[in-house]
Amino acid sequence: MKEKVVLAYSGGLDTSVAIRWIQEKYNADVVTVTVDVGQQEDLAKIESNSKVVGAIRHYSIDAKEEFVENYVHPAVKANALYEGKYPLSTALARPLIVNKLVEVARKEKATAVAHGSTGKGNDQVRFDVSIKVSAPELKIIAPIREWNLSRDEEIKYAEKNGIPIPVSLNRPYSVDQNLWGRSIEAGILEDPAQQPPEEIYEWTVAPEKAPTEPEYVSIGFENGVPVTVNGAKMSPLKIVQTLNAKAGSHGIGRIDHMEDRLVGIKSRECYECPAATVVLDAHKELEKTVLTRHELQFKQQVEAQWTFLVYAGLWMEPLREDLDEFIDKTQERVTGEVKLKLYKGSATVVSRSSPLSLYDANLATYNIETTFDQKWSEGFIEIWALPTKAASILKSKGVK
């Protein structure tokens, strides 16, 4: 019997060519898997494509709810923004896709799994590490990395082998989409000095063309995750979809930044992440209302470490789960409502409230009737200045 290889299949040119290449090079049968994480592709078309190219079986797995609940929600609680900008959309989906690949590989008694990542990006690391950790018995095949074909050579190979070439190919961009965001690379974007052309955006209108009237949206949180939009209870998936549409229609969520890939390459990255942008802004603001100064300060360090681990393909590292334990503990009090104003490309928090708010109007007010006695401050400042004063006195004596 032939060996079986389970391939993560997007339906694009790279993974289509990979089906045929694996069959030829490894004399193996190929089973394809497409995991729906909200990429909004035609799944029936993808399935028929995979059969046309020669896969013996295709699995289409709807993992949208699971993606939001088990991957996006932890990222929200961690305020995850890599290098302060990127909400980790692609990075979060990879370990989920690997879980599904491995499930299918075991069911099919396959000996290897395959993915279409190149040898220059983060995705190869995320796929390979997660596979090695969760299924060390499986071989890993990365045809695009191994084969090292140029785009033109790939197209020639596809034409020669009767592999359908997706119409999207006349667009020079490389796109990856899921519910938490859309990433656009290649073409003119590779020149970081050039403004991204309008045509790369699909989920957001140009801020100039956004409605001239602002729209307000309220997001209700319970234990650190969004549970309502404008007071209406919705499933986690529905909330993300609703906010992608709402914020996107106001031109919110466009991100353009210089990113440091794990493999040491700097790259210019463009994203559209409307829901992520508003949810993270609102979540951070609510945390600042309910957590103490010390919790907030310490949590920032935890967040940076969490975000780096996930970006760098280490979702399955125990430290990530250890950090989640801490984060989840803090989120027990992150309940309340945040209202944002959506207007021409920006989302601004205009209101926050929580039954667990630590804000005390009687302390904060500049009115004369306050519970804060200003005399307390004098002694406090005396002590606060002590160490700095001591150092300064030494310095004035010429001692370093």
Footprint on this chain of ligand ARG (rule: CB under 6 A): 90-91, 122-123, 174, 176, 183, 185, 259, 269
Contact by Cβ (8 Å): 286, 334: yes
> Residue 170 CB, nearest distance to ligand ARG (Å)?
18
**Judging by beta carbons within 10 Å of its beta carbon (0-12, 13-18, 19+), is residue 284 exposed, middle or buried?**
middle
Q: One of 16, 20, 36, 123 is an active-site residue; which one?
A: 123
> Residue 116 CB, nearest distance to ligand ARG (Å)?
8
Q: One of 16, 36, 94, 254 is an active-site residue; which one?
A: 94
Alpha-carbon distance 396 to 307, whole Å?
44
> Residue 348 CB, nearest distance to ligand ARG (Å)?
27
> Residue 285 CB, nearest distance to ligand ARG (Å)?
26
Active site residue 260: no
Alpha-carbon distance 128 to 356, whole Å?
43
Contacts of 71 (CB under 8 A, 6+ apart): 92, 93, 95, 96
Q: How is residue 145 written in tokens?
A: 């990395």
The residue among 269 and 287 lying less far from ligand ARG, judged by its C-beta, is 269
Q: One of 48, 60, 134, 174 is an active-site residue; which one?
A: 174
Length of the chain: 400
Alpha-carbon distance 283 to 275, whole Å?
12
The backbone region for 389, taken as left when phi is positive above 0, alpha when psi lies in -120 to 50, beta otherwise, is: alpha
Q: How is residue 394 written in tokens?
A: 């030494």
> Residue 176 CB, nearest distance to ligand ARG (Å)?
4
Q: Taking the CB of residue 387, how many other CB atoms lie within 10 A of it?
A: 9
Contacts of 135 (CB under 8 A, 6+ apart): 102, 105, 106, 113
The residue among 108 and 259 lying less far from ligand ARG, judged by its C-beta, is 259
- Report the amino acid identity of residue 71: Y
Q: How is residue 252 written in tokens?
A: 């919110």
The residue among 79 and 183 lying less far from ligand ARG, judged by its C-beta, is 183
Active site residue 123: yes
Please report, for residues 69, 220, 233, 284, 295, the alpha-carbon distance to residue 335 in angstroms, rounded to integers and kept in the order given: 17, 8, 14, 12, 16
Q: Are strands 57-62 and 29-36 parallel, antiparallel or unpaired?
A: parallel
Active site residue 106: no
The residue among 57 and 85 lying less far from ligand ARG, judged by its C-beta, is 85
The CB-side HSE value for 129 (13 A sphere, CA atoms) comes to 18
Active site residue 171: no
Please report, for residues 230, 236, 242, the alpha-carbon distance to residue 233 in angstroms, rounded to integers and kept in the order given: 9, 9, 12
> Residue 301 CB, nearest distance to ligand ARG (Å)?
22
Cite the active site residues: 14, 94, 123, 174
